[in-house]
Amino acid sequence: MAQAPLRVGLLGYGIAGRVFHAPLIAATPGLRLDAIVTANPERREQARQEHPDARLLDDADQLWRTADTLDLVVVATPNRQHAPMARAALAAGLPVVVDKPLAPSAAESRALVDEAARRGVPLTVFQNRRWDGDFLTARRLVEAGELGRVSRFESRFERWRPAIKPGWRESAAPGEAGGALFDLGAHLVDQAVQLFGPVERVYAEVDRRRPGAEVDDDAFVALTHAGGVRSHLWMSAVTPQLGPRMRVLGDRAGYTTYGLDVQEAALRDGGRPDKPGWGEVPPEGYGQLGADGDLRPVPTEPGRYQDFYAQATAALRDGTPMPVDPRDAVATVALIELAHRSAAEGVVLPVPPLA
């Protein structure tokens, strides 16, 4: 006999909720998008059209009052609300997925992880870029020894957005966790640590390039990993010519790829991961493996954002690990904090234990 689907409540229907979480939840076998919380009239109408079977609620209190009808809560609100909404879900005994970053500070992130452990309630963080096709390909090549001993990892999330858009992401209020480091850097740092392990030292350059900018819009972060690899990470809103998305350099070969993973654009255009061809990159988008003069294209692994919610479903059903250990998210926020401090002081900073 088939099990009833797990019922999911989604907090927020902005870019994160509408473009990423709702479609992935709806396409995951064993999950049902049961409730969407948004007070914005335009977003409510979008939610009604795109997910007609979901209940529409005005505020989170309505969700908590019906907590016994849910099996999972997803927090896709502005960053300042991540921690309080996650705490409320944990207090209601509901497993919770929190969009990155987990919280605006490492201390608050660590407190959430501790509270989840104390209550025995599952908590995980939506680090979807672990399932980017280029990242999956780079990891496969590294683990297979195709590059030899890796010395440097270069990774970029760059954009050309010279005009400042209104919204919380451009706010300097510390609780908003705005700016390029918290937004794009949370992905880049997480990917680097996933590939090459713990970090011993951090150096960063963080700037506000656009006139009137309140938060960082152009940043460089250098991580020295315990294993000797150096990760050089760029995140920017003011890049008129984009560099390689990723370069991994070893003593046998390198791997270089251009362009963003195709899944985000597909989701924005209404695509779904349960359709044929999802996450596939055409041959002209393949990265190059080898050394100059002897390069060959390497097929990009299909991107698999859907694996996040498939693993979350299995965790809730069978007790397997959640897709992302929330302690990884604590470490990421701690490294972002160190990067801000390094830039402010102009120094290389050691990473404290358990950061």
Name the token pair of 208: 């506000």
Q: Does 32 lie in the same domain as 58?
A: yes
| 14-33 average pLDDT score | 96
Name the token pair of 71: 């099996």
CATH code for the domain in which residue 162 is found: 3.30.360.10
| 281-292 average pLDDT score | 97
Res. 284: pLDDT tops 90:
yes
Q: Does 238 lie in the same domain as 184?
A: yes
Q: What residue numbers bound the domain in which 300 lies?
A: 133-269+281-304+335-350
Confidence grade of residue 172 (pLDDT, cut at 50, 70, 90)? low
Q: How far apart are CA 309 and CA 322, in angstroms?
A: 9
Q: Does 343 lie in the same domain as 252?
A: yes
Q: Does 138 lie in the same domain as 48?
A: no
- The SS3 call for residue 105 is coil
Percent of the chain past pLDDT 70, that is, above it, reads 97
Sheet containing 294-298: give its strands across: 294-298, 287-291, 254-257, 246-250, 150-158, 230-236, 218-225, 199-207, 349-350
Q: Does 176 lie in the same domain as 201?
A: yes
Residue-averaged pLDDT of the chain: 95
Q: Is residue 157 part of a domain?
A: yes
Nearest to 63 by CA among 81, 38, 42: 38
> Over the Cα atoms of the chain, what is R_g?
20
Q: Is residue 24 part of a domain?
A: yes
Q: Does 97 lie in the same domain as 167?
A: no
Q: Is residue 330 part of a domain?
A: no
Question: Between the CA atoms of 52, 309, 316 and 321, what dihedral angle is there, to the nearest 10 degrees?
Answer: -170
| 132-138 average pLDDT score | 98
Q: Does 175 lie in the same domain as 294?
A: yes
Q: Is residue 327 part of a domain?
A: no
pLDDT tens, residue by residue, 318-328: 999 999 999 99
Name the token pair of 188: 């880049």
Res. 169: pLDDT tops 90:
no
Res. 168: pLDDT tops 90:
no
CATH code for the domain in which residue 37 is found: 3.40.50.720
Q: Is residue 114 part of a domain?
A: yes
Is residue 83 within 8 A of residue 112, CB to CB? The reply is: yes
Q: Does 144 lie in the same domain as 102?
A: no
Pairing of strands 55-57, 123-126: unpaired
Q: How far apart are CA 32 and CA 236, in angstroms?
A: 36
Is residue 237 within 8 A of residue 225, CB to CB? The reply is: no
Q: Does 173 lie in the same domain as 256?
A: yes
Contacts of 32 (CB under 8 A, 6+ apart): 5, 6, 7, 8, 53
pLDDT tens, residue by residue, 42-92: 999 999 999 999 999 999 999 999 999 999 999 999 999 999 999 999 999
Q: Does 144 lie in the same domain as 30?
A: no
Number of domains in the chain: 2
| 110-139 average pLDDT score | 98
Confidence grade of residue 274 (pLDDT, cut at 50, 70, 90)? confident
Q: Does 315 lie in the same domain as 288?
A: no
Confidence grade of residue 116 (pLDDT, cut at 50, 70, 90)? very high
pLDDT tens, residue by residue, 232-256: 999 999 999 999 999 999 999 999 9
Confidence grade of residue 171 (pLDDT, cut at 50, 70, 90)? low
Res. 353: pLDDT tops 90:
no
Q: How far apart are CA 41 and CA 44, in angstroms?
A: 5
Q: Does 191 lie in the same domain as 82?
A: no
Q: How far apart are CA 260 and CA 73, in angstroms?
A: 29
Query: What is the reported pLDDT for 213?
Result: 86
Query: What is the reported pLDDT for 261?
Result: 96
Q: How far apart are CA 175 and CA 231, in angstroms?
A: 28
| 203-214 average pLDDT score | 92
